[in-house]
Amino acid sequence: MRKLKITIDKISKKFGDKVVLNNLNLKVFESESLAIIGESGSGKSVLTKCIDGLLSFDTGTISFDEIYNIKNLSFLEMNKYMSKFGILFQNAALFDSLTIKENLMFANKNDNFSEILDEVSLPKSVLQELPSNLSIGVQKRIGLARAILQNPEILILDEPTTGLDPIIGKQINILIKALVKKKKITTITVTHDMESVYEFSDYTAFIKKGKISWYGKSKDINKKGNLSLNNFVKGIY
């Protein structure tokens, strides 16, 4: 039986007069991988930032396990809540002036990173490198390593294959699939890359005009029934 992890109930978010999320409802289940897809500006990244506490939302509730509404958390409670998340940012978000080892130590003060580097298929020699000396693909792997170092309950991936060529993108997708399966981490992925969706997501939510227009098993995306979703998958916006 699927175990509910996060419940998003009628949340809305505006920036000025622009409505980005409009009474949006969504459920996230434990140990499952959920992909969130939609056109640019549809609210995908805003939604994940509301979920992980990086952004406040205007109305509605977000419940997490026994927490009814994260909006009611105190400052200290919110910090504790945010520690439940590991995030791979779109550009990996590494500190250019620090070595890879120093970047990883922001997530975990332990200086033995052999195991995590093995999990992302990188040699220990990379620890002494600066991010600027590494390819985008390697930087993504480092960002992923940092995201899972603290054994988060939720892993959020923001466009994990953006900026990568198809071959490296495929490698990253396969790596994420293996890690998610091994660690049984609840995963939320924001992506335009349908290969990512098909490779490692169990369920997919399609956002249109600030609401979930379609939700279902990723393997069922190509079934007829939602013209907007079908057009998005075909690249017709």
Q: What is the CATH number of the domain that holds 119?
A: 3.40.50.300
Q: In which domain, by residue range, is 106 found?
A: 32-42+78-234
In a domain, 70, yes or no: no
State both tokens at 129: 């490198």
The reported pTM is 0.93
Question: Distance between alpha carbon 139 and the CA centroid of its chain, in Å?
Answer: 16
Q: What is the pLDDT of residue 86?
A: 93
The pLDDT, as a whole number, for residue 224 is 66
**Residue 53 within a domain:** no
Residue 48, in any domain of the structure: no
pLDDT for position 151:
87
Per-residue confidence (pLDDT) for residue 187, from 0 to 100: 97
- Bridge partners for 59 per DSSP: 12
In the block, tokens 């079934």 appear at: 223
Profile the chain (237 residues) by mean pLDDT over runs of 10 residues.
94 95 97 94 94 96 94 95 92 86 83 86 93 92 90 93 90 91 93 92 94 94 80 77
What CA–CA distance (Å, rounded) separates 124 from 51? 34
The pLDDT value recorded for residue 231 is 84
**Cα–Cα distance for residue pair 145/214, rounded to 1 Å:** 31
Q: Rounded CA gap, 229 and 90, in Å?
A: 23
pLDDT given for residue 204 in this prediction? 96
Q: CB atoms < 10 A from the CB of 87, how many?
A: 20
Q: Is residue 4 part of a domain?
A: no
The reply to whether 148 falls in a domain is yes
Structural domain contains residue 140: yes
Domain count, the chain: 1
